[in-house]
Amino acid sequence: MSPMASTPFSARGAVDLGALATAKQNQAKAEQALANAPAGVVIDVTTETFQAEVIDRSRQVPVVIDLWATWCGPCKQLSPILEKLAAEGGGRWVLAKVDVDAEQQIAAAFQVQSIPSVFAVIAGQPVPLFQGAYPEAQVRQIIDELLKVAAEQGVSGRIGVEDPAVGDDAAAAEPAEEAIDPRFEPAYAAIEEGDWDAAERAYRAVLDASPADADAEAGLALVRLYRRAESLPPVADPVAGDPTSLLAAADSAAIAGEWAAALGWGVDAVRATSGDEREAARARVLDYFLLAGDDPSVPAARRALAAALF
């Protein structure tokens, strides 16, 4: 779901191919930022608390809703970014996290089709923002525009600053920050610069030393995906039997975190090819497996890929 045309977020395009580090790096940064943030900037919301924590609170500050699930790979990339930005916001907006498996009524109310999905509520009114694992630079831009829109509607308060002691207690309760693996720092720096070649070299250097490193393999898959997406327009409806069209649509779905569609079209491309083209399509699907993690669509897609190959 791209931002709706009726909102100020419509001119954003499909995906900003900016900085995107790994979920581990994002989580470490989020924990560090939250340690010094006002209490209450990141909250877990249930059906019972939704009225007070989201609707009522949105009359004071914008509330951004992160609809996620524990099995969702892209959610693990996006949620720490949102948490970090909420902490940096210093109480100007609140991040409300909703586990869609546990809170199906909320997911149904927002007509969620895939996750992660992100909405905002301003003065009691919902605003669709985006769907999929957007990189930090684009999420930051969206939040900045959201705050401007909220201010225009008279919603420009701040929460949590009146009781710094609470923030100190929350910081004391934070788990120890996970150190960032220094082997990946060159790759992260290259990604932040949009230098895909340098990022690939950095990940390959890790693999030269540790050939079975899963994080480095996933990093390479991510770099390959974003390099392709940078030069191709998004494709929503592929031409049946056309492997080029199928793989372009699969990449578009992968960027949006729609793994069932990405894997399905990728396997279809394998079926529609032979020889070197089939091997290239198969490699593309294997990249999706690395990035999708434990998404529920992966086991069936693995079986379908095996059937397509043999």
DSSP letters spanning 131-174: ES---HHHHHHHHHHHHHHHHHTT-----STT-HHHHHHHHHHS
Tell how far CA 264 is from the center of its chain. Answer: 20
Beta pairing partners, 95:
42, 64
Whether 286 and 305 share a structural domain: yes
The answer to whether residue 209 is domain-embedded is: yes
Looking at residue 249, its amino acid is A
- The tokens describing 105, both together, are 């009524």
Model pTM? 0.48
What is the DSSP-derived secondary structure letter of residue 11? G
Does the active-site annotation cover 72? yes
The answer to whether residue 5 is domain-embedded is: no
Side-chain half-sphere CA neighbours of 184 within 13 A: 21
Number of domains present in the structure of the chain = 3
Place of tokens 């395009």: 13
Instruction: Give the C-alpha separation, 220 to 87, whole Å.
Output: 30
| Helix residue ranges per DSSP H, the chain | 23-35, 50, 73-88, 104-109, 136-152, 164-173, 185-192, 196-209, 214-231, 243-255, 259-271, 275-292, 298-309
Range of the domain at 207: 181-231
CB atoms within 10 A of CB 4: 11
The answer to whether residue 48 is domain-embedded is: yes
Tell how far CA 4 is from the center of its chain. Answer: 18
What is the DSSP-derived secondary structure letter of residue 234? -
Side-chain half-sphere CA neighbours of 231 within 13 A: 6
Whether 16 and 165 share a structural domain: yes
256 vs 49, 182, 243, 302, CA distance in Å? 29, 29, 20, 20
Give the three-state DSSP class for 109. Answer: helix
Asked if 117 and 1 touch (Cβ cutoff 8 Å), the reply is yes
Whether 39 and 142 share a structural domain: yes
Would you write out the chain's pLDDT as a tens digit for each of its 310 residues?
333 222 333 222 333 333 334 444 445 454 554 455 567 889 999 999 999 999 999 999 999 999 999 888 888 889 999 998 998 888 899 999 999 999 999 999 999 888 999 999 999 999 999 988 888 888 999 999 999 989 988 898 888 644 443 344 444 444 444 556 788 889 888 887 888 899 999 999 999 998 888 888 988 998 999 888 877 776 768 888 899 999 999 998 888 888 999 999 999 999 999 999 999 999 999 999 988 888 889 999 999 999 988 7
Does the active-site annotation cover 75? yes
The answer to whether residue 4 is domain-embedded is: no
Instruction: Give the C-alpha separation, 302 to 278, whole Å.
Output: 16
Whether 167 and 25 share a structural domain: yes
Burial class (CB in 10 A: 0-12, 13-18, 19+), 276: exposed
Instruction: Give the C-alpha separation, 183 to 205, whole Å.
Output: 9
- The tokens describing 228, both together, are 């392709």
Whether 21 and 119 share a structural domain: yes
Would you report the helix, strand and coil content of the chain in percent, each value rounded to 5?
55, 10, 35
CB atoms within 10 A of CB 209: 9
Whether 18 and 119 share a structural domain: yes
User: For the segment 47-76, what is each residue's pLDDT rounded down to a tens digit?
Assistant: 999 999 999 999 999 999 999 998 888 888
Q: CATH number of the domain that 81 lies in?
A: 3.40.30.10
Whether 87 and 14 share a structural domain: yes
Give the three-state DSSP class for 107. Answer: helix
User: For the segment 185-230, what is each residue's pLDDT rounded down to a tens digit?
Assistant: 898 888 878 888 999 999 999 999 988 888 889 889 989 998 888 7
Whether 27 and 40 share a structural domain: yes
- The tokens describing 48, both together, are 């019972």
Whether 20 and 167 share a structural domain: yes
| Annotated catalytic residue, options 72, 220, 298, 301 | 72
Instruction: Give the C-alpha separation, 24 to 209, whole Å.
Output: 20
| Annotated catalytic residue, options 75, 142, 250, 308 | 75
